[in-house]
Amino acid sequence: MRRRLAALVLAAVLAAVPMAAAPSAGADPAPAAPAPAGTGDGPWSAEGAQLVDASGAPVRMTGVNWFGSETETYAPHGLWARNLEAMVAQMAELGFNTIRLPYSNEALDPGAEPSGIDLELNPGLEGLSGLEIIDRVVEEADAHGMRVVLDRHRPAADAQSPLWYTPEVPESEWIEDWTMLAERYAGDPTVIGADLHNEPHSTADGQGACWGCADPERDWRLAAERAGEAVLEANPDWLVIVEGVDCVPGTPAPECGWWGGNLSGVPEHPVRLSEPDKLVYSAHEYATSVADQDWFDDPAFPDNMPGLWDAFFGHIEHDGAAPLLLGEFGTTLQDPRDGVWLGELMSYLGEGPTGTDFTYWSWNPNSGDTGGILQDDWTTVDQDKYAYLEPYLLPPGGGDGGGPPDGAACTVDYRVTDAWDAGFTAEAVLTNDGSTALEDWTLTWTAPEGVRVANGWGARVSQDGGTVTASAPDWARALDPGASSAVGVQATGPSAPAPDDFRIGDTDCAAA
């Protein structure tokens, strides 16, 4: 999809995230029962149309796109307004279990210098390359039990391409970069797969991408097989995600749909991989805020939509060919038909871990086509959009999204260890007073007025607005009953008064 980026918002406004409200326009989202599983354990694979984890349990992507690394910033957008760790934590708290992360080949170049980052809010990103910032997103997703799909969105930062290669970025470089990424994240189950190329499509002169035309320079299906085999050779654990095209001549009308959204050629020309249980097909689907397609004006709308979706992509799972990922879909909800469309689409995708996988476009508010889950302050949730999605979200790992166990109890001993005119250092010793280990714990507190945390140790420490967050370090993910963990911070501002509202999730910690 063409991205018309809105003006960048350069001021962060900290706001609480309210409970989801009912949609204000269009069809109400269909109710859905709570689902028991989200991201599971270990690498994923396919059993027919169902994704499963390493134990064979069903899993499902219910995620969101966070774009920016494919643009001239070479980094996810919004880091000028918020801290990366807090952004990912909010995604997980809302119930999104997967991040689809677009990038460009240009962003992987050694000379590509990321920009659009407030280093006071993100001191840990200073001096990192575009690839190393992707590493940080993966690390934070892992800390919250989320999964990541890497999306090769563009060859270069300035524009999408109809084909998977350009004169500047040949097919060889495309495959080499995918091989490098597959090797880089081998053994890390957080990154589950490669979305090989975003929105292959035809061009007005009859060229561009095709499906099953047997032209090695245009047939996207054949190119996906070549790249897919290279990815699996480098990392056999990954899923290979293959999008559709826009037009497939010879199929029932309509022959053309959204870029990347037409998989009607698959029954006659399926993607063939040496490991077929690693294949996932993907489609994109949009509302009138992107383009007012003929089907939105059909007198039968919205009853015509399920049949259209079946023809374009739904047949993939209905026939048991492979799992399907609806990799992009979104709307501004400005047209009343869009609310109807989104409600119908979510119902079509289905509930629970056996429903169709999806990643909503987008987290970012600065998509000119759709807006985002977040409003322009990069913090407040658009409740109208979220209400359509929320009943279908499977939190990371299932359950309540990784909060403290029942009966959790904690104590924090906070003390200032040194102070000077402009700042201080302090230590907060967290003790687990409960009877169950605190897995992947996150300690939060409110910074007193005028205090800004510069760095921390003993945990992954960040500050977003007035909230300080300390997440369990990789080397000590669990805090056993009776055990303690010390978190150190260096901050600017006054050392008194001391914070007094330490929490693990919704559990208040007592003062030592």
Where would I find the beta strands (DSSP E) of 296-409?
324-330, 357-360
Query: CA-to-CA distance for 243 and 359, rounded, in angstroms?
Result: 13
Only one residue has tokens 């200073």, namely 126
Query: CA-to-CA distance for 360 and 476, rounded, in angstroms?
Result: 33
DSSP string, 32-101: ----S-SS-SS--EEETTEEE-TTS-B---EEEE---TTSTT-S-TTTTTS-HHHHHHHHHHHT--EEEE
Query: What is the phi/psi pair of residue 243, to 5°?
Result: -80, 165
Q: 491 with 423: CB under 8 angstroms? A: yes
User: What's CA 60's distance to the chain center, in Å?
Assistant: 13
How many other CB atoms sit within 10 Å of the CB of residue 126? 9
Query: CA-to-CA distance for 337 and 182, rounded, in angstroms?
Result: 41
Strand partners, 242: 281
Q: 361 with 370: CB under 8 angstroms? A: yes
* Nearest to 485, CA basis, from 512, 458, 457: 458
Q: Write the DSSP symbol of residue 402.
A: S
Q: 259 with 275: CB under 8 angstroms? A: no
- Among candidate residues 106, 285, 328, 390, the one labeled active-site is 328
Residue 268 annotated to the active site = no
- Among candidate residues 70, 199, 243, 344, the one labeled active-site is 199
Q: 425 is written with which tokens?
A: 């250092």
Query: What is the phi/psi pair of residue 155, to 5°?
Result: -70, -50
Residue 328 annotated to the active site = yes
User: What's CA 370's distance to the chain center, in Å?
Assistant: 16
Dihedral angle sign, alpha carbons of residues 333, 337, 342, 347: positive
Only one residue has tokens 């911070």, namely 489
Strand partners, 412: 430, 511
> Annotated catalytic sites, by residue?
199, 328
